[in-house]
Structure 1
Amino acid sequence: MKNTRKDDLSDRRTAAADAKAALLKAHRSAMAAAEPTRVARQAERVAIASVREERRIERERLKLEEAKRLATEAADREAAAHAAVQAEQDARLAKENALIARMVEDEATRKAERDRRYANRKARQA
Structure 2
Amino acid sequence: MSLADFVSLPPAKKAAGNKYGAKKTRCAAGHIHDSASEAARCYELTMLERAGAICGLEQQPEFRFAVAGRPVMLENGQQARLRADFAYIEGGRKVVEDRKGMIVRDFPLRWALARALWPEIDFRVTKK
TM interval, short-chain normalised: under 0.3
TM-score (norm 1): 0.25
Instruction: Return the structure number with greater strand share.
Output: 2
Of structures 1 and 2, the one scoring higher in RCO (CA 8 A, sep 6+) is: 2
Query: Over alpha carbons, which structure has the higher Rg?
Result: 1
Give the number of the structure whose residues are more often helix, by fraction. 1
